[in-house]
Amino acid sequence: MMRRRWSKDSETDPSSSLYPLRPDCANNAPDTKFKIKVGRTLSVRKWHAAFSQQGSLHIASVLSRIQRGGVHPAIRNEVWEFLLGCFDPDSTFDERDHIRNTRRMQYARWKEQCREMDSHVGSGKIITAPIITEDGVPIKDPLVLLEATSDQSTLQGGSTSSGNGNGVDEAMGRLTDKQIIEWKLTLHQIGLDVLRTDRSMVFYEKKENLSKLWDILAVYAWIDKEVGYCQGMSDLCSPMIVLLNDEADAFWCFERLMRRLRGNFRCTQQSVGVENQLQHLASIIQVLDPKLHDHLETLGGGDYLFAFRMFMVLFRRELSFGDSLYLWEVSSSFDLLLNLKHLIYSIIQIRFDI
């Protein structure tokens, strides 16, 4: 199993070594509170010792350690696949290898299907402007496509594939398949969000990492036709890209996370997906700090909509990258990622080092 190299300096400051920031952004980024705590953080040695000879994982001891101090960054890529439910702890090494290979092939099939519908999928380019009208008419102006470069200065044209001809009005060159049209209409929005996601990180100065994020979100938007793509999903997918080298493995971690969170992205004119969580937050604050709750009511913030983004992307933009990973893994270890009580408790742990 591939692992990241781990330097001696990483033991004292893992976040700065594994998730470095661009020099021009370092002063504006949130400070990282997470530190490796000997005897509390799940270490590399404890993680390897938790497996039997056949490969089954003693999950109880692992979760207990994660709840006390998170996961050592050197093994996050391995641990998170279990935390997110990609693998059954009782599975063997051979069974997981088979599952991983099967999933990689499935992702490759989906990605190829998307590439046939639009040739930019898998090309290393990111669409940042509409390529099709709402009526299904392709937009062929070469100035509407932006190649994903680190300085975002190279304009490049591209052709848009119509797949195998199904759902296409040959006379007009117009798509008639509503699902394909809807999917194509999201591609430029995915591109715009990708170019804004974690751009303070050195990791995303590499064009291939940006295109990998765009490809995964484009494929997911196609296979989950009920939810599709919504703003904020790029923030949830980004950690998977950073932690897992293989694009398919990152996709499946994101897909598993979305199984838990996709309800948050179901918004109608009458309600938002996180409405229940906002109501729970209001109830908790009313009990814990009634003066604060009354003050928010006076300001017109009693509906707690100011916390909408926090819950949609699980505090990704409020915390440093390293701290958000710590928050997610501690919450996942309780198997209560969506449980507000443990989410808030984890925030308090991070901020006050309890």
221-230 residue pLDDT tens: 999 998 999 9
Query: What is the DSSP track for 42-71?
Result: B-HHHHHHTB-SS--B-HHHHHHHHHHH-B
Residue type, 296: L
Query: pLDDT tens, 93-149?
Result: 999 999 999 999 999 999 999 999 999 999 999 999 999 999 888 887 655 555 654
Model pLDDT, residue 222: 97
Q: Region 20-40: what's the mean pLDDT?
A: 87
Question: Is the pLDDT score of 325 beyond 60?
Answer: yes
User: What's the pLDDT score for residue 139?
Assistant: 85
Mean pLDDT within 14-38: 81
Instruction: Look at residue 27 and tell me whether its pLDDT is greater than 50.
Output: yes
Percent of the chain with pLDDT over 90: 51
- Whole-structure pTM value: 0.83
Mean pLDDT of 249-255: 98
Which pLDDT tens digit goes with each residue over 271-288? 567 787 888 888 888 898
Looking at residue 153, its pLDDT comes to: 40
CA 11 – CA 72 distance, rounded (Å):
9
Report the C-alpha gap between 161 and 100 in whole angstroms.
30
| 250 has a pLDDT exceeding 80 | yes
pLDDT, greater one: 145 or 28? 28
Mean pLDDT of the region 158-163: 46
- 8 confidence band (pLDDT: 50, 70, 90): very low
Can you tell me the distance from the alpha carbon of 115 to that of 188, in angstroms, rounded to the nearest whole number? 15
Determine the residue type at 120. H
Neighbours of 157 (CB within 10 A): 11
Confidence band of 159 (pLDDT split at 50, 70, 90): very low
Q: Please tell me the predicted confidence (pLDDT) of residue 6.
A: 44
Within 8 A by CB and 6+ apart from 233, the residues are 193, 217, 220, 258, 265
Query: Per mean pLDDT, which range of 164-178, 270-284, 319-333 is the poorest?
Result: 164-178
* Closest C-alpha among 198, 191, 192, 187 to residue 243: 198
Q: What pLDDT was estimated at residue 177? A: 83
> At 353, is the pLDDT very low, low, confident or very high (cuts 50, 70, 90)?
low
Torsion angle of C-alpha atoms 125, 128, 129, 130, degrees rounded to 10 = 70
Question: Residue 115: CB partners within 8 Å, gap ≥ 6?
Answer: 121, 122, 123, 161
CA dihedral 208, 213, 215, 217 (to 10 degrees): -170
Q: Per residue in 62-73, pLDDT tens?
A: 998 999 999 999
Q: What is the DSSP string of 97-140?
A: HHHHHHHHHHHHHHHHHHHHH-TTTTTT-B--S-SB-TTS-B--
Q: Name the more confident of 198 and 161.
A: 198
